[in-house]
Structure 1
């Protein structure tokens, strides 16, 4: 790509995209995929953030690293406009899950049109598509009315979203956000939120040779789980979202034992006496509740409390309490995403995705969660999820992204920025 500016009379999308080089897009993708940035890697995300900073700085783009916690850094870049237009933010997390059993996880390679590496799908290909779009606009010298911002953030995969929360609290500010999670190049405007709950059940311990002298917390917990399936699930199914359907709930774990045998339960292994000599006097049922837009945390809490009160009324002697369980101190609750599908951000992304990639111009919703919801929920600004790759292969030992989607995502990002921010 030539660094010469496009003449004023020829400034436009076609001229911009003609200068994009697929080999460069792939090189940038491979370079960031080759850098480990999972929780067990030295420096966690900071080495890849440093690489991105250096890449953008070499292009003359204003960029900085900002420490969020324990040396872990967000990378923030701005391609400034004249100030007469809106501010668009490209956002994505720079961390990945650990390599697991994936073969050659940090040796990016293309096989049958798929780029394989840990983080290829989730979500470094999406980051590369955003980065190269910004680089292309900078090289072309296309004047923008509004700012184009890039934020590569930490700690999405560990569930805390510390990086995006830092951007929300400390800036830079934006009017619209595109989060590059894998979407198959579909434009995602809604997804479910999720929260954790636990039901703590109390029983009465007794010697297992005379169980009638005790009250099994596990037996009572089993009845609670049945009540979840037969009643609590139905209470949430009466509400629906046009893109997401109904809410959902999952019982993820049931842990019960006698308190005086807790050590035996936790240390169970070959040659260790199994628990069972005491009627269990404690049991906890763990649940996660996926809520749809319109369902508040307070509504769901009240619904669970009401349901459990009904269960207690049907089971005399049941001692059980429900508790909302914060996911983590930094992000206790994960809100849903609900962006207006008629907003210009959505309309323009749909238009370019159809023109460049042949994607049907229809906004969609997904059940998985993303940082997009935080911009939507905490700042009240429209956010969408848009990126290459299919979420079904994220975190898997065969993680990959279609090369053609990576190239098209880059072009769509550039076209979106050009049409939203406007040349002057």
Structure 2
């Protein structure tokens, strides 16, 4: 491990590495990729920005390739090889963003008040740039590494499928440790909640609304279920606690009820139009978002929902309601939580470096949002953390930004982490 004494650049890194980490150069590299659209509506999706990153890395003598994942969408994968006598470390970040929406100058990176504004500045191209710039600095410095340093810029995170990271997990390259560059305010994140979607479909009996007692309203039945979720299931769920994440949670996110034979009419009518037909509704679907903490299983969660429905069926034998699980995608059945051991060297070294370079207390944190780090952790058993510049609260917003001063700090920590773990 290198000395914690600060050098002339104000960094604890060896001078041979620190002199290749220039804040202005990193700002330019970051701005370059922010100017390239890489959302689901952009021509080529992520491939243009992946190609740009590949070319930048190749110009530095780093082995970098595009890997087709699906429909012409490409990951960019780069390797700074070690001697093979040490562990491997992967820097990972998604290179797609959400669409620009109403954000002004979304693809014209500009600085206001020390903050860099653009779509993807926070989530998460700044973090990605800080990762591969650290790799560039190590290459320029000629520092020998015992293990490989890998960079994977991946596709498909923002559309909820995480196809890019899943492809890395399935086909390589493999790593012993992973750092995902989601915005963390430069805190070291070792835990976050998982999430999954459920729905309850409630059946009723349709009839003409002039004689409602001849039918059974699925909406009224669903209302009783929603009340029970709020009054019984949510308090039970909130009893499940995690030291860093707090309580598990369940949220009713949408309710849709209608009469089957009036469904098309109901969907076509705009808000404010007359009601969708004179029929007692015979179907109502309750959509739920369940945030789970480490240690909870899908079977336990499903059992909790079923227990509630059984209680309601006992009180109302006519209740016809069924629970369904909604997979995230064909390839991503569930979104697991992240749970990395805080005593692992990946964590302790990143905490030490962040304390030196950023000036934050060396305390691991948990966050409520989800990231691809959980996939490496849950599917491969690989220790993974989240570490990156920016604040999640401005992600996807029309005023998305990243503090400029956090860019170089993130790159310094990344370079130091690779040195510490791989040298």
TM over 0.5: yes
Distance 2:117 2:391 in 1: 13
Distance 2:80 2:327 in 1: 37
In structure 1, the gaps of 5 or more residues are 1-10
Counterpart of 1:320? 321
Counterpart of 2:185? 184
Query: Could you tell me whether the CA contact under 8 Å between 1:80 and 1:146 is conserved in 2?
Result: yes
Counterpart of 2:91? 90
* 4+ runs deviating over 2 angstroms: 11-15, 269-274
Q: CA deviation at 1:246?
A: 1.1
1:43-192 counterparts in 2 under 5 A? 43-192=44-193
Q: CA deviation at 1:270?
A: 7.6
Distance 1:298 1:212 in 2: 38
Q: Deviations over 1:26-54 (max 9, x none)?
A: 01000000000000000000000000000
Residue 230 of structure 2 corresponds to residue 233 of structure 1: no
Q: Deviations over 1:167-204 (max 9, x none)?
A: 00000010000000000000000000001000000101
Counterpart of 2:412? 411
Query: Could you tell me whether the CA contact under 8 Å between 2:89 and 2:148 is conserved in 1?
Result: yes
| Compared CA separation, residues 82 and 160, structure 1 to 2 (3 A) | same
Query: Could you tell me whether the CA contact under 8 Å between 2:23 and 2:407 is conserved in 1?
Result: no
Query: Could you tell me whether the CA contact under 8 Å between 1:264 and 1:274 is conserved in 2?
Result: no
Q: CA deviation at 1:282?
A: 0.4
1:208-247 counterparts in 2 under 5 A? 208-247=209-248
Q: Deviations over 1:303-324 (max 9, x none)?
A: 2112211121122311111111
| TM, length-normalised to structure 2 | 0.96
Residue 414 of structure 2 corresponds to residue 387 of structure 1: no
Distance 1:396 1:273 in 2: 35
Residue 283 of structure 2 corresponds to residue 282 of structure 1: yes
1:298-337 counterparts in 2 under 5 A? 298-337=299-338
Counterpart of 2:371? 370
Distance 1:391 1:47 in 2: 25
| Compared CA separation, residues 79 and 326, structure 1 to 2 (3 A) | same
Counterpart of 2:263? 262
In structure 2, the gaps of 5 or more residues are 1-11
| Secondary structure in structure 1 of the residue aligned to 2:241 | coil
Distance 1:29 1:114 in 2: 13
**Once superposed, what is the RMSD of the aligned Cα atoms?**
1.2
| TM, length-normalised to structure 1 | 0.95
Q: CA deviation at 1:273?
A: 4.6
Q: CA deviation at 1:238?
A: 2.2
Q: CA deviation at 1:302?
A: 1.6
Query: Could you tell me whether the CA contact under 8 Å between 2:22 and 2:408 is conserved in 1?
Result: no
| Compared CA separation, residues 270 and 121, structure 1 to 2 (3 A) | closer
